[in-house]
Structure 1
Amino acid sequence: MTATAASTWEYDGYDPAEERLRESLCTLGNGYFATRGALPECAADDVHYPGTYVAGCYDRLTSTVAGREVENEDMVNLPDWLPLRFRATGGGWLTPDTAQVLGHRQVVHLDSGTLERHTRFQLGERGVLAVRQTRLVHMADPHLACLRTEFTAETDAVDLDVEAALDGRVTNSGVPRYRDLAGGHLTHVRAGAAATGTVWLRCRTRTSDIGVGLACRLTADGPVAAGAEERRAVQRLRLRLEPGRAAVVDKTVALHTSRDAAISDPLRAAVDRVECAPGFDGLLRTHRTAWAQLWRRAGLDVPGEAGAILRLHLFHVLQTLSPHTADLDVGVPARGLHGEAYRGHVFWDELFVLPYLNLHFPEVSRALLRYRHRRLERARSAARALGRRGALYPWQSGSDGREETQQLHLNPRSGRWLPDHSHLQHHVGSAIAYNVWQYCEASGDAEFLHTKGAEMLLQIARFWADSAVWDDRLGRHRIRGVVGPDEYHEAYPGAGRPGLDDNAYTNVTAAWVLTRTLEVLAALPEPRRRELVERTELDYAELHRWEEVSRTLHIPFHDGVISQFEGYGDLAELDWRGLRARHGDIRRLDRVLEAEGDTVNRYQASKQADVLMLGYLFSPSELRSLFARLGHRLDDVTWHRTVDYYLARTSHGSTLSGLVHGWVLARARRAEAWTYVQEALKGDVADLQGGTTGEGIHLGAMAGTLDLVQRGLTGLETRSGALWLDPVPLPELSSYGFALRYRGHWGVRLRLEHGLLEIAVPESGRLPIDVRLPGRTVRVQPGDTCRLALPDRPRAAAPLSRAVGS
């Protein structure tokens, strides 16, 4: 792949082995729905996988796995609107797999949100057929998509047969390890043609009973025959191609579901919309305008290869979570709307996504938090099922907020189905609370904080206080039976039950939630506080317990470092060198060891940042304050030793790992930070996890790299009504700029270059912005630009120990 001036992402040549990856990275979407970048003439097989997904459209099916009945909810692969195949009359249908390809090129135009494709086919003795296609999923009207195809006979005249279709025969089969599970989500598939020549297809999801309607208009120089086949709506035409003269076929499609607002029937809405839609040129014009507005609001200027990848990441974030998302009841799908990995579920990835959105599209952040608030009662039910008060949010969420984490997972290396205990990652509640607070600080949305935000904070804090048990021996409260962000460790070696005690990340963030919630409750206007207290039956004794638990949660240490969990330091050291010699890539260490009949539970080895996530969430001063509240002194030596310790014991089996380590090292060990930043940048574009990107992009990692520039390298915080900045420029990324939206100011621009920080606030009638840097505070009036020379930072501390097995 190549990138040109950060405005395009290109692939030259046809490579079947790369096709799934390209399909994910060439996906087009608008926040309502997205379609993978599959070739329109190719059906789903081992090479190609067309997929179209509507945000929040889930369905639940039951499968038999290892002799057990298990239920899984999937984001549904909806009827395929792409199919458009072609052949020289009398010949076979042309695809890059069945015909001689003389040239093939795909280009994503990031500025305009279009996918362009050029292919030249050898037609035997009939000469050469050139095919150029331009595709868009409309960013202004989220229910429309369009495909323009230009056919050119380069030498001899050719009669060409063209067939366009809406295909309802699709299933969810894009992830090989899920293929033995039930994937036929569409039922009652019907197709037909309207009197205007428009064809349509309607269906329903099998269990959730969501109605889906698609309609297609085909425009070409020549008569179009319309009809229906089994589960397909079809349009056909024949073109006479004269040498050197392009023949154009435009396919315009509308998509609606019964979850949409302001419609009575999804099929009727789709037919009406496609019949009223402008032609391709008109659609392209309004589509480009919508994208231009998005780029203005999310402007990012980073030079070089890093800047090109960051712009691609931003492109995919905006296609998954656009302003259209603000009108929907959806969460943050971990793999975007780009594929079926993780079944389209919502994990904790909003922790990495919302901090970026808060400063550009706060209305989208608010909608994503409302998704969580609507499922608060379901979370309270989950807590009650454990005998606890408060709210226990699920590790994986889908349509209604119940726990969607699979009961069994497949290890592809061993072929064995294994129990899945990742639902014990109760720290997802702290992530939601953190996002509530960050959103309100960035946006100044006191109304949300005082209502829905306060309700979520209260119930999450209540769960943590009720989960904490007193240990007389330690003189501390403990939280037992959980799994931390590491995910590899689910139980103690030889234990009869899953779960670990006193995961440091879980306990510290629980203490933060309790502390912050007490502050929010104290600051609420008295009428609102009274209402909340009455409705939740909150009393003084409970508040006193929160205060006590927030100061006495146990944080384990060993060998002068923070322990990932109680007993981590007692686990065996791993033979990293021997494992790498035997297996090469050991990112997925859990699968490697299980296939050998071993378990990662026995070793000091982590999949990704766990303890070090604390350095990602909190600034050094806030982290020191949190530990001081818990009775510990966290000095720089202890933190740097902790960073060094876990770096040597992490396999980086998640795309989030490089991101978090790069973020932390930018302040702890700057000389090594760039290695991890590069891994975060290239995680998807180079498919570093070995085939996973073809199943969907990693949205949290993509958004996190954007936030690394926005907050990580600038030290930007939004707190106490001010912008706080403490830049730590990396030598490899020392010049960059971006725009942000802060407390009603649109288009605030920050630029850092050669030790100079520039802040420009656009003209408006709003209050000035207070900007606080170490040792000084400046006030920037609307319409003014402030330039500040940054002091030289001291060199980061040197590593304190050598890597294990290095």
Structure 2
Amino acid sequence: MDSWKLEYRCFNPQQQGLREALCTLGNGYFACRGAAPEATADDVHYPATYIAGCYNRLQTEIAGETIENESLVNAPNWLLLSFRIEGGDWFNLSEADILSYHQQLDIKQAILTRTLRFRGPAGRHTCIEQRRLVSMDQPHLAALQTLIYAEDWSGAIEIRSALDGHIVNAGVERYRDLNNLHLKSLTAESVTDDMCWLEVETNQSHIRIAQAATTRFWRGDKVIGLKPRVDRLEGSISHLYKTELDANQPLRIEKIAAIYTSRDHAISEPGLEARKAVAQSATFEQLAGRHILLWKQLWRRFDFDIVHEDAEEEDRTEQILRLHILHLIQTTSPHVMDLDVGVPARGLHGEAYRGHIFWDELFVFPLFNLRMPEITRALLRYRYRRLDEARRAARKAGYHGAMYPWQSASNGREESQHLHLNPKSGNWIADNSHLQRHINAAVAYNVWQYYQVTRDMEFLSFYGAEMLLEIARFWASLASYNEELARFVILRVMGPDEYHDAYPDKDQPGLNNNAYTNLMAVWVLLRALDLREILPTQRFSELCQTLNLSKEEFALWDEISRNMHVPFHQDDHGHDIISQFEGYQELAEFDWEGYRNKYGDIQRLDRILEAENDSPNRYKVSKQADVLMLFYLLSSEELDELLTHLGYSFEYETIPRNIDYYLERTSHGSTLSRVVNSWVLARANRPGAWALFTEALNSDVADIQGGTTPEGIHTGAMAGTVDLIQRCFTGIETRGDVLWLNPSLPEGLKSLNLNIRYRQHVLGLQMTTTCVRICTEPSAEQPIQIGIGGKIYHLKQGEVREFQL
């Protein structure tokens, strides 16, 4: 196995959707699914191009209600290139007599290659070789190179090169009953014999999208000038070229496309820029050379090396981790530094969740914090620009401060639906997921972790602190004092679990005192109070004046941070368990064995129970980690400090007891679940961490949820698996101006090497089960503090230190 290649050696229509998602190419500005160039959307193929931040809203009548959905728009298809031989049918992969087929994604170079041989009429053999890229060097450009070999025949061939803007969003079956026509045609024109262009506009957000493409032909080194027949339909434009093939020399075709929108910076208008870009573009090989160079530079920052006792396991693990890094960079590359975009939960790879931004950045940002924190900084600005919308949402709900939405898209309003479709039953049911107020803790946590890694005081002073303070203000207003408990409580929310959105047989949605929510609210309040000592005095004073923050408000935050209620209950052995929420212990135990025997795959237990006219609200079941998220985000030291601050006792044994208790009651209905559970097992030095890690690793490549990956990758799960290698197994923790290292390599993993950035220092980490070696590159930065084994050491630039474990 080549750990830098993802390969498929046959054409499999049933697997095509999955392969298209996994072979998506992108550069942070836009991405193109790995569909065949000749394909149009049908039951097998779904070609699609998505532009970061390009959203549109449509209304649909459903179940007697008008609902409005905002979606990441499927942009015009630039890729279309097909052919037919001597007036026959246009080539169709599903109908051709395929003799050999090989598709390869070069992970290192981000280039997709396809080679196929087929037998045509009269037994003639033809070979096709194709390469494509979405340029990392020039973010508006993409390119396709095609070579056609007539192996044992000569004759006429017709080539069709098109730009198709007659596109709908139809990549998710359960959304197809909703209105999905987002684009209206503006222009479709032939400019020259080798260039055409089109322009469309989203019908609600009025974003203009322009594409231009050149199609050029070569025999050997000789350019062939062909005059096309132009085929123009509403929303599409095609150039049809006729030429001759012979067995002595292949026909080379290069299609270069440019994409611009009216949201772009430093342009006159998108159509002009697109036409100019392709007119001045280099050849495919020249574009590829610069593209490969940029990726080589990125891999210097993001690659790693592991040694596993099983060589095959080592190669497979490295291959999938590198594939995950590829897709994360293609979704959030350095190009996002100049864009107003967030991290879509399903990347720029498909239409699941309509391209919305959830809390997945909680799992994505740690990778970039320690490799290229400038990307995190840019993506956090997405949240800052929507701070006023979060303030409006809080006021509308009767709270103070800023209340961020569970699902966000263009302007930061709440995009969560009131209804969603259960494909198992066909029923439209109430969706209360907007009650996941813990998204606010995630935003605050991301701000704080970015600051801890970078010590970017400018960002904290002018962006991050304001978000932290307004989120703290929200938590304080959401909390209320309970006289009976003599503690503060948080009512009517949902936790990360998502299976539980109400108490059994209650009409009112929401749960009381979700432990994760309550503890993370306290964590945010404490970090907001820390700002008094961290920020420059003048800037902190300015913020207090601007936000009208008083000493009394800070005193209230301090009181809540010492007196928040955390529910506990006892397990069958009489040990204290942190309750997922108040009343959790009163729920019924679930018949796991019976349902596994009946249904086999019960990951989406919520859909199964709803189809039976039942509900997970009645049972001790979880879709994914909830309480265990505390052990994922907080070290045992931090959790000890937090619970002690609240007046609760903490024993280290609390962690393994809670892990065992909730693992037995989790269906892993989310790809994030295995990431979190593997993390907490690894940090607790428990067996099974590597097994869960490899399951999480296979979430997308094996589509373990049975059909979700073709609708888009899972950015959180992909980032989470990489972060297990980067932070969990290394024990990296950034707190108190110290980079803490506490390695805990799981069973089978012999060594781990990677480079990270911490406060402008580039550190090389080499870890085994017995030793840690740290080297720093020369720089002008001040020494940093490294914590190992409870001791703190100063590390100067250019220094090498080795520590025995």
- Same fold? TM cut 0.5: yes
Question: CA separation in 1, counterparts of 2:121 and 2:393?
Answer: 65
Choose which of 710, 734, 739 in structure 1 pairs with 2:755: 739
Question: CA separation in 2, counterparts of 1:160 and 1:753?
Answer: 60
Q: Is the 8 A contact 2:38 2:91 kept in 1?
A: yes
Alignment partner of 1:227 is 2:224: no
The C-alpha deviation readout for 1:563-621, integer Å capped at 9, x for no partner, is 00000010000101111111100000000000011000000000000000000001110
Q: Is the 8 A contact 1:138 1:145 kept in 2?
A: yes
The C-alpha deviation readout for 1:461-508, integer Å capped at 9, x for no partner, is 000001111111111100000000000000000112100000000000
Question: CA separation in 2, counterparts of 1:682 and 1:473?
Answer: 48
Question: CA separation in 1, counterparts of 2:625 and 2:14?
Answer: 31
The C-alpha deviation readout for 1:218-241, integer Å capped at 9, x for no partner, is 110331416341121212222322
Q: Counterpart of 2:245? A: 241
- Residues 269-308 of structure 1: pairs in structure 2 closer than 5 A: 269-302=273-306, 303-308=314-319
Task: Give 1:227's aligned amino acid.
Answer: V
Q: Counterpart of 1:251? A: 255
Q: Is the 8 A contact 1:26 1:108 kept in 2?
A: yes
Alignment partner of 1:213 is 2:186: no
Question: CA separation in 2, counterparts of 1:783 and 1:461?
Answer: 40
Q: Counterpart of 1:63? A: 60
CA shift for structure 1 position 541: 1.1
Q: Is the 8 A contact 2:136 2:294 kept in 1?
A: yes
Q: Counterpart of 1:655? A: 671
Question: CA separation in 2, counterparts of 1:787 and 1:247?
Answer: 58
CA shift for structure 1 position 744: 1.4
Question: CA separation in 1, counterparts of 2:256 and 2:440?
Answer: 43
Q: Counterpart of 2:345? A: 334
CA shift for structure 1 position 6: 1.6
Structure 1 residues without counterparts, runs of 5 or longer: 791-806
CA shift for structure 1 position 776: 3.0
Question: CA separation in 2, counterparts of 1:159 and 1:735?
Answer: 58
Task: Give 2:528's aligned amino acid.
Answer: T
Question: CA separation in 2, counterparts of 1:483 and 1:573?
Answer: 20
1:643 counterpart SS class:
helix
The C-alpha deviation readout for 1:759-794, integer Å capped at 9, x for no partner, is 12112222233221013333333223222222xxxx
Alignment partner of 1:544 is 2:548: no
Choose which of 588, 592, 602 in structure 2 pairs with 1:572: 588
- Residues 412-491 of structure 1: pairs in structure 2 closer than 5 A: 412-491=423-502
Q: Is the 8 A contact 1:126 1:158 kept in 2?
A: no
2:66 counterpart SS class:
strand
Alignment partner of 1:761 is 2:761: no
2:328 counterpart SS class:
helix
Q: Is the 8 A contact 1:31 1:55 kept in 2?
A: yes
Q: Counterpart of 2:127? A: 130
Identity of aligned residues (%): 49
Q: Counterpart of 2:7? A: 10
The C-alpha deviation readout for 1:432-476, integer Å capped at 9, x for no partner, is 000000001111101111221110000000000011111111111
2:443 counterpart SS class:
helix
Task: Give 1:6's aligned amino acid.
Answer: S
2:518 counterpart SS class:
helix
Task: Give 1:668's aligned amino acid.
Answer: A
- Residues 598-613 of structure 1: pairs in structure 2 closer than 5 A: 598-613=614-629
Question: CA separation in 2, counterparts of 1:530 and 1:787?
Answer: 44
Q: Is the 8 A contact 2:631 2:655 kept in 1?
A: no
Q: Is the 8 A contact 1:168 1:189 kept in 2?
A: no
Question: CA separation in 2, counterparts of 1:236 and 1:640?
Answer: 66
Q: Which moved more, 1:615-624 or 1:627-636?
A: 627-636
Q: Counterpart of 2:799? A: 784
Q: Is the 8 A contact 1:52 1:78 kept in 2?
A: yes
CA shift for structure 1 position 126: 4.5
Distance 1:577 1:669, change over 3 A: farther
Q: Counterpart of 2:713? A: 697
Q: Is the 8 A contact 1:467 1:479 kept in 2?
A: yes
The C-alpha deviation readout for 1:736-778, integer Å capped at 9, x for no partner, is 21111221124x2112134221212112222233221013333
Alignment partner of 1:404 is 2:415: yes
Q: Counterpart of 1:641? A: 657
Q: Is the 8 A contact 2:124 2:153 kept in 1?
A: yes
The C-alpha deviation readout for 1:334-373, integer Å capped at 9, x for no partner, is 0000000000000000000011111111111011111001
Task: Give 2:749's aligned amino acid.
Answer: L
1:91 counterpart SS class:
coil
Q: Is the 8 A contact 1:218 1:224 kept in 2?
A: no
The C-alpha deviation readout for 1:513-558, integer Å capped at 9, x for no partner, is 0001001133322211121111111111111110011111110001
CA shift for structure 1 position 632: 1.0
2:128 counterpart SS class:
strand
Q: Counterpart of 2:197? A: 200
Q: Which moved more, 1:67-76 or 1:299-308?
A: 299-308
1:403 counterpart SS class:
coil
Q: Is the 8 A contact 1:356 1:707 kept in 2?
A: yes
CA shift for structure 1 position 73: 0.2
Question: CA separation in 1, counterparts of 2:785 and 2:483?
Answer: 47
Q: Is the 8 A contact 2:745 2:769 kept in 1?
A: no
Question: CA separation in 2, counterparts of 1:42 and 1:492?
Answer: 49
Q: Is the 8 A contact 1:155 1:244 kept in 2?
A: no
Q: Is the 8 A contact 1:192 1:228 kept in 2?
A: no
Distance 1:114 1:40, change over 3 A: same
Question: CA separation in 2, counterparts of 1:320 and 1:199?
Answer: 28
- Residues 518-529 of structure 1: pairs in structure 2 closer than 5 A: 518-529=529-540
- Residues 613-692 of structure 1: pairs in structure 2 closer than 5 A: 613-692=629-708
Distance 1:294 1:224, change over 3 A: farther
Question: CA separation in 1, counterparts of 2:141 and 2:74?
Answer: 17
Q: Is the 8 A contact 1:191 1:228 kept in 2?
A: no
Task: Give 1:707's aligned amino acid.
Answer: D
Task: Give 1:567's aligned amino acid.
Answer: G
Alignment partner of 1:376 is 2:367: no
Q: How many residues align?
A: 786
Question: CA separation in 2, counterparts of 1:760 and 1:647?
Answer: 38
Q: Is the 8 A contact 2:516 2:630 kept in 1?
A: yes
Distance 1:243 1:421, change over 3 A: same
1:389 counterpart SS class:
coil
Task: Give 1:785's aligned amino acid.
Answer: V
1:243 counterpart SS class:
coil
Question: CA separation in 2, counterparts of 1:274 and 1:761?
Answer: 43
CA shift for structure 1 position 119: 1.1
Task: Give 2:102's aligned amino acid.
Answer: R
Alignment partner of 1:530 is 2:541: yes
Task: Give 2:673's aligned amino acid.
Answer: S
CA shift for structure 1 position 667: 2.1
What TM-score do the two structures reach when normalised by structure 2? Answer: 0.96
CA shift for structure 1 position 197: 3.5
2:127 counterpart SS class:
strand
CA shift for structure 1 position 91: 1.1
Task: Give 1:25's aligned amino acid.
Answer: L
Task: Give 1:73's aligned amino acid.
Answer: E
Question: CA separation in 2, counterparts of 1:126 and 1:637?
Answer: 72
Question: CA separation in 2, counterparts of 1:128 and 1:779?
Answer: 68
CA shift for structure 1 position 662: 0.1
Question: CA separation in 2, counterparts of 1:779 and 1:533?
Answer: 35
Question: CA separation in 2, counterparts of 1:178 and 1:373?
Answer: 31
Question: CA separation in 2, counterparts of 1:721 and 1:226?
Answer: 66
Distance 1:224 1:775, change over 3 A: same
Task: Give 1:253's aligned amino acid.
Answer: A
